[in-house]
Structure 1
């Protein structure tokens, strides 16, 4: 009887051992190795990045953000990064799938063609989600396919759960403006307030700003706009990691990365807006994309989209409005324009002269894009996209570029009077007064004086 019990016990233990062996054999090698290191697969992600710039372990590279993007055959995830171009190495994607670590998949590293000679460039890292990886939430990159101590790696949250290029019926915003980047303690508060309020009048629902450094008054203004969720502030401490250039060309300006990472932030902003905004405007804060035949951007784009239905990028001509003119100056006490004394910056309503365009000089445009058509962009041109491009005639739309300084003084006969901004003056001035009063940059008495001057 004891021998029978002993035999049954051995047989039972043998069955358990066979069952365990079968389970182990069906478990991918990387899965077993990581389990041996950490003891459990229900622990990922170990550390999620809450920064806009994340150093990649064991490399000279940086990661910015990760997005679901299934528009490129064979890939599911696009990671936007900043890679040193002479140090590209083989990388592997590792996912967190419902709290479990996945197998690794090879990454495709795509450095953008526009890097202007700088050592670091905007880079896309394309990943494929492995089979049986359900409820994928985070991703990280490894320099080896297995046997890596992944607890040292920082994970990126995967954003955008649907970017297959198919149009959604409704979006949170019709228009988003992407501003990149603020640096050098930029503090032109008056122009900033006027431009943001002008865009609101034109129908913009969200303005995304990448901020490296801004002056104290401008920070107060941006904080106020952020509280009402009109402005989305993205902290961009690029100067903590790289010698970011003040210019656009490496041979002329030096540094590690083009113009404080402008190309990186524009691409990130496109993907950030992919599933929530119908259109995205790519321009600087001293520029306003202005419709000339319509009262707002929506009616203008409805017309353009109807005429050019397969267009993903609308190219807008840029026109410079110089700093000083003979006609317009609010420094004149008899001027009908507000003076806004004591507010840092200048009054864009003074800019009523437009420079002519020299046909012998290249004038790069700015853009209104449909983000679902675009995979990679530069500042003035889309690098990879589906659909077509269309150059919008100046009579329909143009960029009002109010530079802080003018490169050279133009003779009066080379300038054209353009008071398009004044068409919005009666609505714009009260809005600017209100926001300046709210951030305590204007007193009630000054606001009253401005209001009386514009009756």
Structure 2
């Protein structure tokens, strides 16, 4: 009996020691992993599956996170949209490479960089910059409004992208076009197809489009291009979170944010393309950046880079082709396109001379690795040089409604550069329109 009692006591002592040891080890692990006192949740990470993620307890919106070690002391850039009058101190919370219950979490202070262009709107494109803690192999990040909290299960995490070392980059694409956003049920199908097929002839490999809303026919065409792999559609439901403006100036158009977040999407596209594209074109869907002394964009850029070494930003002058003036012979008024919504750019050969007495906008070709922040017509922060490309070398063909409607036909100049590509362009446009059932057959004409 005594022997059995001693055995029970020994067993209880050993069990108590094991429980104490495990608890001590667990406490030591949390303390080592989280010196600021944050206790990680037991559940797996809740990774955001949308392009816009509200930041809890704020008016701010998070978009995406990228590794960016070009700025000394800062390693991660979180592209976001902040309300300018309510920016408070924030903490970056990193997941240091663990999984579920074995996760390690660390925080560092956040440096908030507002972009200088806000056009008077309450919300502004923002970079939340953070340094990664030592010995942290960070995979995901989010922001905290308070440095100490014991609840992490409600946090939405962003994956950290762009982790390739600069010397190891192997570009998948030579050229990517970034179309900032489609909104207002945009349905200019014919001009859209012509522009994309023109870019394909010029050597563009990928077109990234941020889509808030588009018309029914254009949506069909977008899906077709997406399935083919030429177009990457990024859902951009900004109107679910903000009263997004359809104009560029707050005092005139009102709203929360400039042009449905155009500045945010342009910056996001640069970082999205940083590891995979040699060059990025930043322009609107009704604009074509057109070389005039070369037959494709790669030949153009090879010449420019040789003439302008260490240049990462090339500004291309905008030239407007009023859509109210038509080429008189009608040779490119093609009957198979009569039922397609939108503008036929081949019919518009008359262009305005830019009014250089006032600010004249440019659009951009950039090396994304040499750009830190961009606006619509200018780069805000960059590395290396910038260069305005002479108009006789390259300029924008912009077929649109003109701001200077007083100009008469005799004050315009003929420019038939698009016609140099018509033999390939027309059948290519026919092919994509036929694929989505928008091309009229001979019986329907």
Relative to the length of structure 1, the TM-score reads 0.89
Partner of 1:344, secondary structure, is coil
* Residues 1:86 and 2:85 are matched in the alignment: yes
- Match of residue 58 from structure 1: 57
- Match of residue 250 from structure 1: 250
How many residues were matched structurally? 436
In the alignment, the residues of structure 2 paired with residue 328 and residue 193 of structure 1 have an alpha-carbon distance, to the nearest angstrom, of 23
In the alignment, the residues of structure 1 paired with residue 38 and residue 355 of structure 2 have an alpha-carbon distance, to the nearest angstrom, of 63
88, 101, 108: which is aligned to 2:111? 108
124, 130, 133: which is aligned to 1:130? 133
Q: 1:395 to 1:161 in 2, by over 3 A?
A: same
Superposed displacement of residue 4, structure 1: 11
- Match of residue 140 from structure 1: 142
Superposed displacement of residue 443, structure 1: 3.2
Contact kept? 1:94, 1:101, Cα under 8 Å: no
- Match of residue 227 from structure 1: 227
* Residues 1:385 and 2:388 are matched in the alignment: no
After superposition, the C-alpha distances for 1:183-217 in whole angstroms (9 at most, x for unaligned) are 11110000000000000000000000011110000
Contact kept? 1:321, 1:401, Cα under 8 Å: yes
In the alignment, the residues of structure 2 paired with residue 324 and residue 259 of structure 1 have an alpha-carbon distance, to the nearest angstrom, of 25
Contact kept? 1:437, 1:444, Cα under 8 Å: no
- Match of residue 368 from structure 2: 371
In the alignment, the residues of structure 1 paired with residue 296 and residue 120 of structure 2 have an alpha-carbon distance, to the nearest angstrom, of 39
- Match of residue 437 from structure 1: 434
Partner of 1:312, secondary structure, is strand
After superposition, the C-alpha distances for 1:9-33 in whole angstroms (9 at most, x for unaligned) are 9699669857864773564378385
Q: 1:356 to 1:70 in 2, by over 3 A?
A: same
* Residues 1:403 and 2:369 are matched in the alignment: no
**Stretch of structure 1 that moved more, 66-75 or 280-289:** 66-75
Gaps of 5+ in 1: 450-455
342, 352, 357: which is aligned to 2:354? 357
Partner of 2:69, secondary structure, is coil
- Match of residue 31 from structure 1: 34
In the alignment, the residues of structure 2 paired with residue 263 and residue 92 of structure 1 have an alpha-carbon distance, to the nearest angstrom, of 24
- Match of residue 343 from structure 1: 340
Q: 1:427 to 1:54 in 2, by over 3 A?
A: same
- Match of residue 420 from structure 2: 423
**Stretch of structure 1 that moved more, 10-19 or 177-186:** 10-19
* Residues 1:319 and 2:316 are matched in the alignment: no
Q: CA RMSD in A?
A: 2.5
Superposed displacement of residue 357, structure 1: 1.8
In the alignment, the residues of structure 2 paired with residue 27 and residue 149 of structure 1 have an alpha-carbon distance, to the nearest angstrom, of 14
Contact kept? 2:38, 2:105, Cα under 8 Å: no
Q: 1:190 to 1:309 in 2, by over 3 A?
A: same
- Match of residue 293 from structure 2: 293
- Match of residue 212 from structure 1: 212
Superposed displacement of residue 76, structure 1: 1.5
Gaps of 5+ in 2: none
Superposed displacement of residue 138, structure 1: 1.2
In the alignment, the residues of structure 2 paired with residue 240 and residue 19 of structure 1 have an alpha-carbon distance, to the nearest angstrom, of 48
- Match of residue 453 from structure 1: none
Runs of 4+ in 1 over 2 A off after TM superposition: 1-35, 166-170, 324-330, 404-407, 443-447
Contact kept? 1:112, 1:123, Cα under 8 Å: yes
**Stretch of structure 1 that moved more, 5-14 or 136-145:** 5-14
Q: 1:23 to 1:244 in 2, by over 3 A?
A: closer
- Match of residue 174 from structure 1: 174
